[in-house]
Amino acid sequence: MGIEDIYQNVEHKDNKNTFELQTQNNRQAEGQAQKCRGSRCLVLITVSLGLICVLLLVFIILQHFTITAERDMRKSWFFMSNKKNSWSDSRQYCRDRGADLVIINSEEKQRFMSSFTTERVWIGLSDTEQEGNMKWVDNSSLKQGFWLEGEPNDLNGTEDCNELNPANPVLNNWNDLPCSFTIQGICEK
Ligand SMILES: [Ca+2]
Ligand SMILES: [Ca+2]
């Protein structure tokens, strides 16, 4: 083997080594790129899942508000009876329409009902069953009354049905009357 052959051999070996090194580098780079792609993929999946969760949450909240609003609408459907009548005939007017005389069980509702009408109106409260034991049309007991001063007075022992008279102060405008008295009623559906 001449000196030239030795040089050629060494050169060939060097080339081979360089090629192997390059290949190794390429593999490493590819591996890193794959790793990078993999972690990017993970981030994307995480972000997507997060977005889906947020969308679901928004959807649930919107559904909740829609249902609550619908329920409130149903709760808030009030209408007046068409003419002045006794308490029981006014109540019958409401019942014929799938409603009943209004039940006022909060200050908020009392304020609303007082602004709902300018007329004296029957509300769904009476003590016809037992004197002094005021009950709503759903048979629940009265917890908070918005009575006119000195009322209910059961005048002459004949007053068992109750009106709301919006001409009086908003939180003091109930009065008991004879049930045969004729005024309109507020129905609640
Ligand atoms: Ca009474
Ligand atoms: Ca009275």
Q: Are residues 64 and 83 both part of a single domain?
A: no
Q: Are residues 123 and 84 both part of a single domain?
A: yes
Q: Are residues 111 and 141 both part of a single domain?
A: yes
CATH of the domain at 105: 3.10.100.10
Cβ atoms < 10 Å from Cβ of 160: 21
Distance 45 CA to ligand 1 centre (A): 71
Note the pLDDT tens digit of each residue in 4-14: 555 455 455 55
Q: Are residues 111 and 65 both part of a single domain?
A: no
pLDDT recorded at residue 75: 57
Q: Which residue has the higher pLDDT, 94 or 33?
A: 94
Closest CA to 98 of 71, 84, 79, 123: 79
Note the pLDDT tens digit of each residue in 137-187: 999 999 999 999 999 999 999 999 999 999 999 999 999 999 999 999 999
Distance 127 CA to ligand 1 centre (A): 5
Residue ranges near ligand 2 (ion) with Cβ within 5 Å:
151, 153, 159, 175-176
Q: Are residues 57 and 33 both part of a single domain?
A: yes
Q: Are residues 38 and 69 both part of a single domain?
A: yes
pLDDT recorded at residue 146: 98
Distance 83 CA to ligand 2 centre (A): 22
Using CB atoms within 10 A of its CB, is residue 80 exposed (0-12), middle (13-18) or buried (19+)?
middle
pLDDT recorded at residue 183: 98
Query: Coil, strand or helix: which one is 60?
Result: helix
Task: Give the ligand with the smallest distance to the CA of 128.
Answer: 1
Task: Give the ligand with the smallest distance to the CA of 177.
Answer: 2
**pLDDT above 90 coverage of the chain, percent:** 68
Q: Are residues 142 and 173 both part of a single domain?
A: yes
Last residue of a domain, one of 11, 46, 75: 75
Domain enclosing residue 12, as ranges:
1-75
Using CB atoms within 10 A of its CB, is residue 188 exposed (0-12), middle (13-18) or buried (19+)?
buried
Q: Are residues 95 and 184 both part of a single domain?
A: yes
Distance CA 163, CA 68 (A): 30
pLDDT recorded at residue 188: 97
39 pLDDT higher than 70: yes
CA atoms within 13 A of residue 173's CA, in its CB half-sphere: 23
pLDDT recorded at residue 86: 98
Q: Are residues 88 and 55 both part of a single domain?
A: no
**Residue 93 binned pLDDT confidence (cut-offs 50, 70, 90):** very high
Distance CA 175, CA 156 (A): 14
Q: Residue 89 in contact with residue 111, Cβ under 8 Å?
A: no
Distance 9 CA to ligand 2 centre (A): 124
Q: Which residue has the higher pLDDT, 6 or 93?
A: 93
pLDDT recorded at residue 148: 98
Last residue of a domain, one of 75, 94, 120: 75
Per the prediction, the chain carries an average pLDDT of 86
Note the pLDDT tens digit of each residue in 47-64: 999 999 899 999 988 888
Distance 159 CA to ligand 2 centre (A): 6
User: Has this prediction a pTM greater than 0.75?
Assistant: no
- Total domains present in the chain: 2
